[in-house]
Amino acid sequence: MQKIPRLLMIVDGMGDRLIDELGDKTPLQAANIPVLDRLAAEGQCGVADPVKRGIVATTVSGTLAILGYDPLKHSIARGVIEAHGCEMKIMPGDVAIRGNWATLDNHGKIIDRRAGRIREGTKDLASSLSNIKIEDVSVEVGVGTEHRIAVVLRGEGLQDSLIGSDPGDHSHFGIKPCLPVALKEQDEKSVRTAKILNLFELEARKILARHPKNLERVSKGLFAANAILTREPGQIKAFPKIKRPSGFGLSGVCISGDDTISGISLLTGLNVCKTPSMTANMDTDLKQKFMFASKMLSKFGVVVLHIKGCDIAAHNREAKKKSEFLEKIDAELGRFLNKWEGKLRIAVTADHATWSKKGIHVDDPVPVLLHGEGISADSVKRFDEFQASKGSLGLFRLHKLWEKFFA
């Protein structure tokens, strides 16, 4: 059987709802995307529930679904994913915790939960915290994308059934970080782990308050990363590798600037390719991403290309910017296809829908497009949430896309 190269594009948060400022259109409808429209007209479209109707997908559940895993049956603790994405080593018994750099005022109250989405100097900040030992537990801090970090606790008798210090996205301004606590008081291991995490965070604040990088940020009028907020702890468990369809024997690589996506990819058996200019934001280098996709298609059979910017724009409630970013993706995709047209199969979808009006994920199905070798055209002429729903792929659960991609 001939091996057909395959490009799977994840346009993070692509789906949306009708937005007044866009003339009662979604950002996808409002965008000028001639390349995606042509692929839709020549290929097959549908819509897919990332998890199932009524359940709002996260980045993790939606991405697992795209990679062929049913998120109702398979899950990975977010802390473990972030630690893998930060290229940290996790041993059995370790507790890995997802976190943020954050800014507290002089009274210990949260000013900014993401320390101004800090990018510079984070490795130095993390290094200053990585030699701390609480009781007999060692602590390592890994640097993720922008303000994101991972914390790994290593020692005897640790357990991950606890809640960290992060109060979450909503109503966090002007309150103090939460006290890490075990989910069950009788769970001695988790009680001890929560205590150690709390002591570490308190010690971290003392160190970060006087760190030269933070003093420099304050002198420039920037938010100091003078605290960390933690959430979603986990411990490593065996995770099944997706089986490639019989006869293909293809290996795969994921191109992404987002450490969460990198972590998922590594845990599910994909290689990872990223560079500093892949920022997982709207300023990411799209040209470089597609250039690497072209190179990797020649080396690997499957390339997963993850692009984050649409989700960032939607979370910032910037529908127009989301639409404009979709146009940039479309333009770069067109240049990429100048070389690969007719030589590959391509799928385009999203891990979840992000509603620009509210800045939140919603449970709407996401649009799906298949094009290329072995894909015959249906009646859809334009790629958006509503037109895609009329396509021959119909409505399906997103974890079934992997099968359709290789059919």
Residues 274 and 292 in one domain: yes
Nearest residue to 267 via CA among 78, 8, 70:
78
Count of Cβ atoms closer than 10 Å to residue 348 Cβ: 25
Residues 262 and 402 in one domain: yes
Considering just the CA atoms, what is the radius of gyration of the chain in Å? 22
Residues 368 and 256 in one domain: yes
| pLDDT score, position 171 | 55
Strands lying side by side in the sheet with 44-49: 271-273, 252-255, 302-307, 6-11, 345-349, 366-372, 44-49, 394-397
| pLDDT score, position 267 | 86
Residues 218 and 263 in one domain: no
Residues 90 and 185 in one domain: yes
- Rounded to 10°, the helix 78-85/259-267 angle is 100
Q: What is the number of domains present in the chain?
A: 2
Predicted TM-score of the model (pTM): 0.84
Task: Report whether 59 contacts 261 (CB < 8 A).
Answer: yes
| pLDDT score, position 244 | 55
Nearest residue to 296 via CA among 6, 2, 66:
6
Residue 188 located in a structural domain: yes
Nearest residue to 68 via CA among 327, 302, 297:
302
Residues 206 and 317 in one domain: no
Residue 393 located in a structural domain: yes
Q: Tens digit of pLDDT for each residue in 104-115?
A: 999 999 999 999
pLDDT tens series, the chain, 407 aa: 357 889 999 999 999 999 999 999 999 999 999 999 999 999 999 999 999 999 999 999 999 999 999 999 988 889 999 999 898 989 999 999 999 999 999 999 999 999 999 999 999 999 999 889 999 999 999 998 889 999 999 999 999 999 999 998 655 678 999 999 999 999 999 999 999 999 999 999 999 999 999 999 999 999 999 999 999 999 987 777 666 554 444 568 999 999 889 989 988 888 999 888 998 899 999 999 999 999 999 888 889 999 999 999 999 999 999 999 999 999 999 999 999 988 899 999 999 999 999 999 999 999 999 999 889 999 999 999 999 999 999 999 999 998 888 87
Residues 222 and 144 in one domain: yes
Residues 195 and 58 in one domain: no
Q: Which residues contact 313 (CB under 8 A, 6 or more apart)?
A: 27, 282, 319, 321, 322, 325, 356
| pLDDT score, position 172 | 62
Residue 275 located in a structural domain: yes
| pLDDT score, position 312 | 95
C-alpha–C-alpha distance, residues 30 and 323, integer Å:
6
Task: Report whether 224 contacts 217 (CB < 8 A).
Answer: yes
Residue 363 located in a structural domain: yes
Phi, psi angle pair for 180, to nearest 5°: -55, 130
Residues 284 and 392 in one domain: yes
- Letter string b/e over residues 277-307, b meaning 16 or more CB atoms within 10 A of that residue's CB: ebbbbbebbbeebbebbeebbeebbbbbbbb
Residues 252 and 381 in one domain: yes
Report the chain's mean pLDDT, rounded to a whole number. 92
Residue 22 located in a structural domain: yes
Nearest residue to 168 via CA among 362, 319, 314, 360:
360
Question: Of 192, 217, 234, at which residue does a domain stop?
Answer: 234
C-alpha–C-alpha distance, residues 192 and 14, integer Å:
42
C-alpha–C-alpha distance, residues 380 and 398, integer Å:
19
Residues 382 and 286 in one domain: yes
Beta bridge partners of 234: 96
Give the range of the structural domain holding residue 347, as residue numbers without chain letter.
6-75+240-406
Question: Of 181, 206, 234, at which residue does a domain stop?
Answer: 234
Instruction: Give the domain CATH number at 244.
Output: 3.40.720.10
Residues 323 and 279 in one domain: yes
DSSP 53-118: TT-PPPHHHHHHHHTT--TTT----HHHHHHHHTT----TT-EEEEEEEEEE-TTS-EEETTTTT-
C-alpha–C-alpha distance, residues 154 and 212, integer Å:
28
Residue 1 located in a structural domain: no
Question: Of 234, 254, 284, at which residue does a domain stop?
Answer: 234
- Residue length of the chain: 407
Residue 309 located in a structural domain: yes
C-alpha–C-alpha distance, residues 151 and 153, integer Å:
7
Residue 187 located in a structural domain: yes
